[in-house]
Amino acid sequence: MNLSEAFTLKQGDYIHHLTKTNADGTPMRARITSIKTWKTRPDQIEIRYKRGIYEYGRLREYELSEFGIGYGS
């Protein structure tokens, strides 16, 4: 995923990891909980996500290449 694709995401969308997988072989995926952008720093983004019951995380613009836009189910 690149920066322009990240700006099109919205709360509730899914993302998936391109190399890491779950135990059954499916890609690790997470649901987006919030997206933060800055007016003074237009090339930066912070995406917060939830994966499973207890795992929460945060992505920054330099980590976007490890993730792709996923599909919810």
We report the CATH number of the domain holding residue 7 as: 2.30.30
pLDDT in tens, 49-60: 999 999 999 999
pLDDT in tens, 17-29: 999 999 999 899 9
Q: How confident is the model at residue 14 (pLDDT cuts 50, 70, 90)?
A: very high
Percent of the chain at pLDDT exceeding 70: 97
- pLDDT at residue 15 above 70? yes
Please spell the DSSP secondary structure of 21-35, one letter per residue: E-TTSPEEEEEEEEE
Block residue for tokens 């912070």? 46
pTM of the model: 0.87
Q: Residues, the chain, total?
A: 73
pLDDT of the residue at 60: 95
User: Number of structural domains, the chain?
Assistant: 1
Tell me the CA distances in angstroms from 18 to 25, 54, 62, one per residue in order.
12, 22, 15
